[in-house]
Chains A and B, each alone.
Chain A
Amino acid sequence: MASERRIDLYACCFRAPLLIWQSLFFVVPLGFMFIMSFWLVKNYRMTPAFAFDNWAKMLFWEVMWRSYGYTLGLAALTTAVASALAFPAAYVLAFRFSDAARRWAIFLLIIPFFTSYLVRVYAWQVVLAGNGVLSAFLGWFGMEPVSVLNSPVATVVGYMTLSFPLVLLLQTISLAAIDKSLIEAAHNLGCGNFRTVFAVLIPAARVGLIVAALFCFILSFGDFVSPYYLGGSSPPTLSIMIVDSTKSGQQWPRAAVIAVIMIMTLISIAFAAVTLAYRRRG
Chain B
Amino acid sequence: MTRPLVVFDKVEKSFANFMAVKPTSFEIAQGEFLAIMGPSGCGKTTTLRMLAGLEAPTGGEIRFDGRVMNDVKPNDRDTPMVWQSLALFPFLNARENVEFGLKMRGVEPAERRKRALDWLERLGIGQFAERNVAKLSGGQRQRVALARALVTEPKILLLDEPLSALDAHLVIRMQSVLTKLQKELGITFVYVTHSQSEAFAMADRVIIMAQGEIAQIGKAKDIYRAPANKFVAEFVGRNNIFEGKVKSKTGKSLNVETPLGVFQVPAEGAPSTAAGSPLSFVVAADLVQLSATKPDAANVVECQLISEQFMGTTVTLFLEAKDGSEIKVQIGQRELETINIKNSAKLYASWPETRAHVLAG
CB neighbours (8 Å) of A2 from chain B are 53-56, 73-74
Q: How far is the CA of A1 from the CA of B50 in the complex (A)?
A: 10
A5 at the interface (CB under 8 A from B): yes
Scan A2-30; emit 1 where CB is below 8 A from any B CB, else 0.
11010000000000000000000000000
On chain B, the number of residues with a Cβ less than 8 Å from chain A's Cβ atoms is 6
The closest CB in chain B to the CB of A1 belongs to: B54
Scan B174-217; emit 1 where CB is below 8 A from any A CB, else 0.
00000000000000000000000000000000000000000000
Q: How far is the CA of A206 from the CA of B53 in the complex (A)?
A: 46
Most B Cβ at <10 Å: residue of A2, A3, A5: A2
On chain A, the number of residues with a Cβ less than 8 Å from chain B's Cβ atoms is 4
Q: How far is the CA of A2 from the CA of B73 in the complex (A)?
A: 8
CB neighbours (8 Å) of A3 from chain B are 73
Q: How far is the CA of A5 from the CA of B55 in the complex (A)?
A: 10
CB neighbours (8 Å) of A1 from chain B are 54-55
- Distance (whole angstroms) from the CB of B220 to the closest CB of chain A: 32
The closest CB in chain B to the CB of A4 belongs to: B56
CB neighbours (8 Å) of B54 from chain A are 1-2
Interface residues of B in 10-56 (CB under 8 A from A): 53-56
- Distance (whole angstroms) from the CB of B64 to the closest CB of chain A: 15
- Distance (whole angstroms) from the CB of A11 to the closest CB of chain B: 14
The closest CB in chain A to the CB of B72 belongs to: A2
CB neighbours (8 Å) of B53 from chain A are 2
Q: How far is the CA of A249 from the CA of B55 in the complex (A)?
A: 62
Q: How far is the CA of A2 from the CA of B54 in the complex (A)?
A: 6
- Distance (whole angstroms) from the CB of B245 to the closest CB of chain A: 50
Q: How far is the CA of A1 from the CA of B54 in the complex (A)?
A: 6
Q: How far is the CA of A3 from the CA of B56 in the complex (A)?
A: 8
- Distance (whole angstroms) from the CB of B242 to the closest CB of chain A: 46
Q: How far is the CA of A1 from the CA of B46 in the complex (A)?
A: 11
- Distance (whole angstroms) from the CB of B43 to the closest CB of chain A: 17
Interface residues of B in 59-106 (CB under 8 A from A): 73-74
Q: How far is the CA of A113 from the CA of B333 in the complex (A)?
A: 72
- Distance (whole angstroms) from the CB of B57 to the closest CB of chain A: 9
Q: 6 A-B residue contacts at CB 8 Å?
A: A1-B54, A1-B55, A2-B53, A2-B54, A2-B55, A2-B56
8 tightest A-B CB contacts, nearest first:
A2-B56, A2-B53, A5-B56, A2-B55, A2-B54, A2-B74, A1-B54, A2-B73
Interface residues, chain A, CB within 8 Å of chain B?
1-3, 5
Known A2-B74, A3-B73; further 8 A-B contacts with Cβ < 8 A: A1-B54, A1-B55, A2-B53, A2-B54, A2-B55, A2-B56, A2-B73, A5-B56
